């Protein structure tokens, strides 16, 4: 992933030094597990741990140079580690293991750590959305369907629904973390032919993983589920960004992205304040969905193992993790700093719609007065069309219409914004079960 979208704490989990350090830890833990069984002398296991090389840029370069000869990254790694440790004890490194024992277990350990960062960031987004929902629950705005004015709603209702969806994403991510928090050290086709299951249990326990049955590789539906959780988060953020982009349009003007001192919206037009962050997040969500497709393609491997998934995962798993945490943190800042223009929203809702947002209320009032629904619908539809084409208030047209027999009090009730929004607090009630006090859960 390019540095622009690479938060350092997540990037540090996936760089070459971190990857080889995790491989080395798996190898050393495996030897210590063997020592616990009496297969390896305890003194040899202790010597390996004491003389284990530091995994730094020099070791990474040495492994890369060796790989030019072996054309096998794990074999190159084992060669270099054994050479750096030296002595007869070094021969115990990779004893009874196959490459995937090391790579898959290390990868899953890394993904669980990545998921922890994502869960913390996801919780922060949920908390930010819930806070804005509470703040804005009584601020009216036009609800829109098909991009057209529908009925009144509130900004708080929008944020509450986003918070609930983001929390479902958090739950999916927690489930995906559990699914990838697994390991295997069961040998070439998973039958433990040259390694005792107790070694697998020892290594997994030390890394916070759970041993699972496997072929030579851990089943890739687990990794696909992790990618799905990331893509789902991206889709929710895209949903939020798309709404912000619409509401920020010049013709609408109901919200505005935060704009920092010194920021420039356009290199050519000084007046511009573009919703660039919402647009950026919408674009990155497309990338995440592409990674999900690749992850599903990785599920079907030949027999007990092939490596068609390997090259894919070197790209999509780190990049998806980086993009997702980047998007979560940016979305949290966007939500927290989003500028709301309630007066413009109210103007659009009332005068801007000529009162058409109350058409259903009028329809129901007419039905309640004894007119058939079809007749009432025809009356309101006709007057609503006239209001829009003549740019006149629907209320006035209804008062002039001899077929409308509603009293002034009944029309007042039909056009009462407070009545339309009287149940808005129910959105906040739905948020009461969210664990926003502990956003990483």
Active site residues: 146, 266
Rounded CA gap, 100 and 406, in Å?
A: 77
Rounded CA gap, 78 and 90, in Å?
A: 9
Q: Which residue has the tokens 């309630």?
A: 342
Rounded CA gap, 246 and 94, in Å?
A: 57
Q: Which residue has the tokens 């030897």?
A: 31
Burial 2-20 (b: 16+ CB within 10 A, else e): eeebbbeebbebbeeebbb
Rounded CA gap, 114 and 282, in Å?
A: 22
From residue 297, give the alpha-carbon distance in Å to each of 107, 116, 228, 313, 425: 18, 25, 13, 11, 44
Rounded CA gap, 122 and 167, in Å?
A: 8
Could you tell me whether strands 182-183 and 210-211 are parallel, antiparallel, or unpaired per DSSP bridges?
A: parallel
Per-residue DSSP letters for 296-339? HHTS--STT--SHHHHHHHHHHHHHHHHHHHHHHHHHHHHHHPE
Query: On the CB side of 183, how many CA atoms lie within 13 Å of its CA?
Result: 32
Name which of 309, 137, 152 is nearest 222 in CA terms. Answer: 309
Count other C-beta atoms under 10 Å from residue 371's C-beta.
19
């Amino acid at each position: 992933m390019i540095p622009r979208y690479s938060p350092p704490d997540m990037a540090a989990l996936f760089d070459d030094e971190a990857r080889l350090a995790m491989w080395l830890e798996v190898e050393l833990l495996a030897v210590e597990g063997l020592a616990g069984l009496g297969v390896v002398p305890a003194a040899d296991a202790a010597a390996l741990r004491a003389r284990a090389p530091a995994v730094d840029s020099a070791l990474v370069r040495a492994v890369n140079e060796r790989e030019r000869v072996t054309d096998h990254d794990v074999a190159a790694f084992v060669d270099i580690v054994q050479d750096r440790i030296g002595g007869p004890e070094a021969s115990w490194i990779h004893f009874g293991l196959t490459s995937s024992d090391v790579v898959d277990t290390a990868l899953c350990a890394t993904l669980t750590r990545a998921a922890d960062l994502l869960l913390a960031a996801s919780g922060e987004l949920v908390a930010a959305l819930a806070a804005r929902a509470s703040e804005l629950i009584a601020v009216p705005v036009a609800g829109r369907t098909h991009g057209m004015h529908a009925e009144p709603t509130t900004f708080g209702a929008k944020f509450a629904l986003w918070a609930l969806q983001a929390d479902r994403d958090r739950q999916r991510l927690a489930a995906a973390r559990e699914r990838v928090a697994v390991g295997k050290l069961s040998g070439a086709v998973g039958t433990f032919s040259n390694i005792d299951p107790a070694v697998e249990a020892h290594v997994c326990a030390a890394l916070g993983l759970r041993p699972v049955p496997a072929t030579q590789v851990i089943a890739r539906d687990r990794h696909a589920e992790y990618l799905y959780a990331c893509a789902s988060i991206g889709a929710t953020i895209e949903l939020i960004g798309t709404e912000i982009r619409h509401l920020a349009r010049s013709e609408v003007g109901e919200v505005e992205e935060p704009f920092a001192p010194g920021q420039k919206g356009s290199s050519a037009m000084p007046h511009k304040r573009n919703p660039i962050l919402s647009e950026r997040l919408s674009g990155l969500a497309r990338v995440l969905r592409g990674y999900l497709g690749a992850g599903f393609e990785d599920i079907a491997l030949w027999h007990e193992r092939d490596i068609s998934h390997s090259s894919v995962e070197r790209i999509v798993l780190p990049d998806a993790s980086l993009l997702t945490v980047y998007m979560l943190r940016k979305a949290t800042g966007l939500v927290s700093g989003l500028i709301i223009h309630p007066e413009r929203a109210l103007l659009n809702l009332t005068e801007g719609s000529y009162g058409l947002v109350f058409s259903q209320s009028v329809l129901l009032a007419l039905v309640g007065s004894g007119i058939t629904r079809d007749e009432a619908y025809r009356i309101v539809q006709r007057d609503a069309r006239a209001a829009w084409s003549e740019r006149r208030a629907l209320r006035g047209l209804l008062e002039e219409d001899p077929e409308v027999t509603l009293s002034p009090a009944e029309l007042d009730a039909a056009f009462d914004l407070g009545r339309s929004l009287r149940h808005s607090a129910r959105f906040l009630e739905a948020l009461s079960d969210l664990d926003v006090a502990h956003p990483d859960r």
